[in-house]
Amino acid sequence: MDDRFLVTGGARLTGEVEVVGAKNSVLKLMAAALLAEGTTTITNCPQILDVPLMAEVLRGLGASVSHSGDTVVIDTPAEPKFHADFDAVKQFRASVCVLGPLIARCRRAVVALPGGDAIGSRPLDMHQNGLRLLGARSVIEHGCVVAEADTLIGAPIALEFPSVGATENILMAAVLAEGVTTIDNAAREPEIVDLCVMLQQMGAKISGAGTSTLTVEGVDRLQPVTHRVIGDRIVAATWAIAAVMTRGDIAVRGVDPQHLQLVLTKLSGAGATVTQYENGFRVAQSGRPVAVNYSTLPFPGFPTDLQPMAIALASISDGMSVITENVFEARFRFVEEMVRLGADARTDGHHAVIRGIERLSSAPVWSSDIRAGAGLVLAGLVADGVTEVHDVSHIDRGYPDFVEIMRSLGAQIERVEPLPQ
């Protein structure tokens, strides 16, 4: 039995939230510490389960890692180990981001195929093809990605899709390659820019961060640095959507609103009053939200990580919403759980059609991934009675102090641990 949340519907969420570092950035920054011998310090780290999990991956590769509060200190040896075994990487997808740094530093990498959220296939073909173009040999053997290279030589690389993970691994390999690498159709997410900023601080020569073309001039070595993680735009947007769903009023600090322009525009279209600040925003909703259509796309499009919350919002909005998923095909598993809560929803391929109703009906539901879990809690806030959300360990992987923050905003939510056997 896993922990579960009991969510009592009917509360209007109000107050202020301080967002800490981005989950989708901190894990890659920790991996980047492998690129330089010595002590790297990363601050503004979120206190989520994936951070100590990544610390274990790095320890398995020979690094020393200490974690206190929002600071992670990583001491990377002169000769890291190159084998990240299954026990270390099986629990979360981001562990595969050690592949690029290991091939760059050790000229060899053995990384077990990772686990993670059940949101659809995320093959490593583009990661491997990029490393091959840099001169590495890469195959999958015995459940591991095995890569090795005598030397890495810069090359032009064009991605079939702006994959965040592939962009990160190729980028981290290229910074220590000989010559110039260009990555066309590169991911443009703020977390990619954050990684580029840290690598530049370490001595890497990178141009084009935030655009679809990254140019990397390889250098001989990098130096360890101290770097602050950017604010988590997905967590920030979750609180914004919660404000709209509960007809509340929430101010969010600690995130660049430029990272959420399309999301905030959609919430304005749903009837919210949105005020932006230099380091955050405020979202207030007075009446029932108006139905809005959503289509997930790589940045600067609507994030796929917010698709479950968009469905939850659509389920109680006035009118019909069409939600199109263009990134992860299995994310619509979430709709099945929303139907348990009484949502008028159906799916057809990459599309979900949601007809909003006044109020959802409480029921037991199950989280399939981090964002689905958060979306189900938001749905429980606008359901009658008490909604049981199971498998909430997923939520712990992406949202620090989730229950405490919810309560501070006025939500009635309780964590229930299973009875000992």
Known catalytic residues are 117
- In this structure, the chain runs to a length of 421
The side-by-side arrangement of strands in the sheet containing 273-277 is: 14-18, 249-253, 280-284, 273-277
Q: Is 326 annotated as a binding residue?
A: no
Which strand (E) or helix (H) includes residue 240? Answer: helix 233-245
Q: 327: annotated binding-site residue?
A: yes
Burial 391-401 (b: 16+ CB within 10 A, else e): bbebbbbbbbe
Closest by CA to 17, choosing from 247, 241, 185, is 241
What DSSP designation does 7 have? E
Positive or negative CA dihedral for 24, 138, 128, 307? Answer: negative
219 labelled binding-site residue: no
**DSSP label at 345?**
E
- SS3 state at 16: strand
- What b-and-e string marks burial along 10-28, b requiring 16 or more CB atoms within 10 Å of the CB? ebebbeebebbbbbbbbbb
Tell me the sheet residues that pair with 332.
none
Q: Is the link from the previous residue into 300 a cis peptide, with omega within 30 of 0?
A: yes
* Pairing outcome for strands 383-384 and 360-361: parallel
The gap between the terminal CA atoms of the chain, to the nearest Å, is 10
Within a 10 A sphere around the Cβ of 54, how many other Cβ atoms? 28
Torsion sign across C-alpha atoms 306, 312, 313, 319: positive
CA distance 111 to 324: 33
Please give the structure tokens belonging to residue 222: 């990098």
State the Rg of the chain over Cα. 21
Which spans in 270-345 are helix H? 307-315, 333-340
Q: According to the annotation, is 252 in a ligand binding site?
A: no
Q: Is 145 annotated as a binding residue?
A: no
List helix spans (H) across 135-224.
164-174, 190-201
User: Using alpha carbons only, what angle is made at residue 140 by residues 134 and 142, rounded to the nearest 5 degrees?
Assistant: 145
Helix (H) or strand (E) holding 67: strand 64-68
Backbone angles phi, psi at 308, to 5 degrees: -60, -40
**Residue stretches of the annotated binding site:** 23-24, 93, 305, 327
**Residue stretches of the annotated binding site for phosphoenolpyruvate:** 23-24
